[in-house]
Structure 1
Amino acid sequence: MSENNYEINNRMEQIRQQFIDAGVSDLFGTKKEVNSLPDLLNADETVLYATSGFVDKGTVLVVVTNQRLVFINKGLIYGTDFKEIPFKHINAGSYSKGMVLAKISVTNGANVTVIDNVNKSNAPVFVQKLKYAISQKEEEQTHVVVENSSNDGSVNNLRNLKQLLDDEVITQEDFDAKKKQILGI
């Protein structure tokens, strides 16, 4: 077995274990999409949840990772449709349950992506995991921004922090703490 095949197989095993750890249960009709994940996900990317559904009349695998939301649809004959939405562009995630199946809606800017025919029990878990991943990413970025800005110690840095507060990237508490640190209060 070549080294590249070994790496792909190893990565596939990691992804399968992440599916198990996340409680992923319904991936109806997405075996080819699941098998393409080692090529599509970054080496440091972790699957938090996944489900199958229909988007624009095609069966897709929808994956929430620790970095982004990914849609994969491998065609019957050729090609792969791959779409990603970075968390910073997602405004909302919601679901509605029908008699048998559910629908998930993901809003990013003026666009709403609707995932139809989702397993009814998967929809709320998917939306919860998506919101969790977004909040974790925002928290991580805020921490990095605040830490990086605190190393400067200049008054210009205070202006930058104020802008971050105004843009709602950091909280008032973060701003107040760093302001005291910068001013030496």
Structure 2
Amino acid sequence: MSEKSRLDEIREELEKLDISPTIFARKEIHELPDILSKDERIVYLVEGRNKINNHHIILVATDRRLIFVDKEFMYGLKVEDFSYGKISSIQYETALLLASIDIQVTDDVVEIDGVGKYHAELFCEKVRDFMSRPEEYTQHQSEPSVLDQLEQLGRLKESGVLSEEEFNDQKKKIIDKL
């Protein structure tokens, strides 16, 4: 699938979720085809400002993880992702028209502000839903598919880490599990 069609797919997903990103999120949205895996689906997306450096960012909740995307003007791209099992809390605080979201991840807090009040509440609800059942998602992520395992084996063989015999033994073990 080409990057263009994956970007169109992402835009359709956002439209179905009734999410209309502003022009300020355009750069971050364009990076999503390279960030998301091909079968990963967006559950919700909010945009706001990073409290630390005041950059415009997006927070993306997918069916697998929470992703923080900051496409900095001159300095490239910053992407951080967090499995739902590693998030200990998510909360929002509202002001007149806007809200802020604080996400506690292990020993770190991710903070964004300038989020629409309604979107902040909905985003937090979606993330809490995934946080309440992390074992399903961490198990899904920690067990690579047979194809993923075989591809990794091939890379190990090509790089000389595995001999032909070791490669064939491991390949047989993977296939025998089917």
Task: Establish whether TM, by shorter chain, passes 0.5.
Answer: yes
Given the alignment of the two structures, is residue 53 of structure 1 paired with residue 48 of structure 2, yes or no?
A: yes
8 Å contact from structure 2 (residues 60, 68) kept in 1: yes
Return the TM-score normalized by structure 1.
0.69
Given the alignment of the two structures, is residue 39 of structure 1 paired with residue 34 of structure 2, yes or no?
A: yes
1:17 to 6, 12, 18: 12
Work out the percentage of aligned pairs sharing the same amino acid: 28
- Could you say which residue in structure 1 is the equivalent of 2:72? 75
CA distance in 2, matches of 1:28, 1:134: 30
Return 5+ residue gaps in structure 1 as ranges.
1-5, 144-185
- Could you say which residue in structure 2 is the equivalent of 1:107? 104
DSSP-derived class of the 2:73 partner = coil
CA distance in 1, matches of 2:136, 2:103: 21
Alignment CA distance shift 1:133-1:28 (3 Å): farther
Report runs of 4+ in structure 1 exceeding 6 Å deviation. Answer: none
Comparing 78-87 and 21-30, the one that deviates more: 21-30
8 Å contact from structure 1 (residues 101, 120) kept in 2: yes
CA distance in 2, matches of 1:68, 1:139: 12
Listed one character per residue, the Cα deviations across residues 12-58 of structure 1 (whole Å, up to 9, x for unaligned) are 11111111122213445110100110011111110000011111221
Shift of 1:134: 2.8
CA distance in 2, matches of 1:101, 1:90: 23
- Could you say which residue in structure 2 is the equivalent of 1:174? none
